Chains A and B, each alone.
Chain A
Amino acid sequence: MLNSIEHPMFRTIAGRPASGLRRFAVMLGLVLATGACAGGEMVSGTLPSGDAACQVDRAGLCDARENVLIAMASGRAIAQDAVVEEEVLEEQRGGFISVGGFQVDFGFEFSTMVNGSSQLTTVLTLNDIISGNGIVPNLNSISVSNGAAGGTDIIHAAGPDGISATILNSQDGVQIENVSTLAIDIIGLRNVRKGGRALGNGRRMPMETQQSIIRSLAR
């Protein structure tokens, strides 16, 4: 309980005195807050916890919110009105992309072509790679056989270490191509730059995934 008043007579939640004791608590708060407004010397190395219901801002003597830190530094009572409730603290969140900010969509397509014909395609989306710490392990393979002339085995592997293609070819005169397509769509960025807010849930790419993609593209 964050804002409990330490004296058992005034024990309540969120710094609000129980109604029956409210008047006495206000009077006590006035006495303590008057001292806080007047300032004082540092009396200890610990900023005191809220031990009185300071209602001075309502009484008009001084603004409790403005004097709360002064009271803290001088080792005196803290105005409970200035202490932020746990419910409010829980709402104060910070991260790279906020809900209501902009949305990042990601797509990675890896395609291997033999003699101009696409034989194997592996597609990764953001859903495939944010469910864990990196890319969900994925393995695709196909064998392209040309009878007695030989054949071509194609293996696409995706995992935390990156995305790779392994090609085993045993026939001559074959043209093999790998095509990687990385698509990143940032929805709402224009609105964010303008200072506005786009709708939609923000999604982010874990650092491990970013590094996996960078390693893959660097190959």
Chain B
Amino acid sequence: MSSQLSLSNKAAAVFFAAAVTLSAMAPFSSARAADARFVSAGGMSFNLKVQSIKERKWHSVVRQERDFSCGSAAVATLLSYHYGRPTEEVEVFDAMFAVGDRQKIMAQGFSLLDMKRFLDARGYTADGFRVSLDKLAEVGVPAIVLLDLYGYKHFVVIKGVTAEHVLVGDPSRGIQRYKRTDFGKLLANDIVFVVRTQVEIAKANFNLVDDWSAHPSAPFGPAVSQSSLANITIYLPGTGTR
């Protein structure tokens, strides 16, 4: 819980930085993306750690290095950001490629069995289960699932689930948010691939506020209420006949 709280504060700092930029409209110099210096109208300056939306999308996802290596990147994402074991994709790729069916890997990509054997060899017991998304959300552990994007079979990591949305770590596109109904249509099957061991760590790193904040939704709603707009326009000088 404490980790979630600290991550939440970090996310708040990011949005606070953005708010300051918009409200003060002050000139600022940005040395690098992670540390921006802001200058207020009064001449005071302060530094804030900021991340662009693009950076935020990759802050907890391992990007796939090869066009057919989404499987190895998904496993690296799972271990690095959900089980507290920093893992590079190349480590997973080399290990799975060494013992897997190379012809099939080159032709169709890695399989869930490749992932299972890799994780089993490192002390994680992993299996595929035929369960619904609701049940996965109820348990609250991350999972690797296979999407079928019109013939494009692609592994992603489910990082969180709410009543309305599914948060996904996509090795090719970073953190993505889907509506539950839309995501259900993309699933290639009803198999969720989960690690059985270290449940507490997995649950503690599922549905993180920090991950959800990487894909903020626009605040839909009227910028000016109709009543307040009427109060303004009613007193404007008329241009019609009197």
Which A residues fall within an 8 A CB radius of B? 2, 42, 44-49, 65-70, 72-73, 82-84, 86, 88-102, 192-198, 201-202, 204-207
Residues from chain A with a CB closer than 8 A to the CB of B155 are: 94
Q: Which of A47, A66, A89, A92 contacts B132 (CB 8 A)?
A: A66
Alpha-carbon gap, A66 to B135, bound state (A): 7
| Segment 85-127 of B: residues with Cβ below 8 Å from A | 104-105, 107-113, 116, 125, 127
**Distance (Å) between the CB of A215 and the closest chain B CB?**
17
Residues from chain B with a CB closer than 8 A to the CB of A206 are: 66-67
A-B contact count (CB 8 A): 158
With contacts A46-B197, A89-B111, A90-B113 known, is A95 near B129, CB below 8 A?
no
Q: 7 new A-B pairs (CB below 8 Å) besides A68-B131, A73-B138?
A: A45-B198, A67-B135, A72-B196, A89-B191, A92-B146, A92-B189, A93-B109
| Segment 159-206 of B: residues with Cβ below 8 Å from A | 188-189, 191, 193-201
Q: Would you call B112 and A69 a contact (CB within 8 A)?
A: no
Contact digits for B194-229, partner A, Cβ 8 Å, 1 yes 0 no: 111111110000000000000000000000000000
Q: Which of A83, A89, A196, A207 contacts B112 (CB 8 A)?
A: A89
Alpha-carbon gap, A142 to B65, bound state (A): 38
**Distance (Å) between the CB of B52 and the closest chain A CB?**
24
Q: Would you call A101 and B152 a contact (CB within 8 A)?
A: yes
B136 within 8 A of A: yes
**Distance (Å) between the CB of A96 and the closest chain B CB?**
4
Alpha-carbon gap, A168 to B112, bound state (A): 54
Which B residues fall within an 8 A CB radius of A? 65-71, 104-105, 107-113, 116, 125, 127-132, 135-136, 138-141, 146-147, 150-155, 188-189, 191, 193-201
**Distance (Å) between the CB of A6 and the closest chain B CB?**
13
Q: Would you call A84 and B128 a contact (CB within 8 A)?
A: yes
B interface: dominant SS = mixed
**Distance (Å) between the CB of B99 and the closest chain A CB?**
13
Q: Would you call A46 and B129 a contact (CB within 8 A)?
A: no
Residues from chain B with a CB closer than 8 A to the CB of A196 are: 151
**Distance (Å) between the CB of A103 and the closest chain B CB?**
11
Q: Which of B70, B112, B129, B200 contacts A68 (CB 8 A)?
A: B129
Residues from chain B with a CB closer than 8 A to the CB of A101 are: 151-153
Q: Which of A82, A90, A205, A207 contacts B131 (CB 8 A)?
A: A82
With contacts A89-B112, A94-B71, A94-B109 known, is A82 near B130, CB below 8 A?
yes
Q: Would you call A95 and B67 a contact (CB within 8 A)?
A: yes
With contacts A83-B128, A84-B129, A193-B150 known, is A96 near B68, CB below 8 A?
yes
Q: Would you call B131 and A93 a contact (CB within 8 A)?
A: no
Sampled A-B contacts (16; CB under 8 Å): A45-B199, A45-B201, A46-B197, A47-B195, A69-B136, A69-B194, A73-B139, A73-B199, A88-B191, A93-B71, A94-B71, A95-B67, A95-B154, A101-B151, A204-B67, A206-B66
**Distance (Å) between the CB of A68 and the closest chain B CB?**
6
Residues from chain A with a CB closer than 8 A to the CB of B128 are: 83-84, 88-89, 92
Alpha-carbon gap, A68 to B71, bound state (A): 25
- Closest B residue to A101 by beta carbon equals B151
Residues from chain A with a CB closer than 8 A to the CB of B188 are: 92
**Distance (Å) between the CB of B102 and the closest chain A CB?**
13
- Closest B residue to A79 by beta carbon equals B129
Q: Would you call B146 and A98 a contact (CB within 8 A)?
A: no
**Distance (Å) between the CB of A49 and the closest chain B CB?**
7
Q: Would you call B198 and A46 a contact (CB within 8 A)?
A: yes
Alpha-carbon gap, A27 to B108, bound state (A): 42
Alpha-carbon gap, A100 to B151, bound state (A): 7
Residues from chain A with a CB closer than 8 A to the CB of B70 are: 94-96
**Distance (Å) between the CB of A197 and the closest chain B CB?**
5
Alpha-carbon gap, A204 to B68, bound state (A): 8
- Closest B residue to A130 by beta carbon equals B106
- Closest A residue to B155 by beta carbon equals A94
Alpha-carbon gap, A86 to B69, bound state (A): 20
Residues from chain B with a CB closer than 8 A to the CB of A198 are: 151
Residues from chain B with a CB closer than 8 A to the CB of A66 are: 131-132, 135
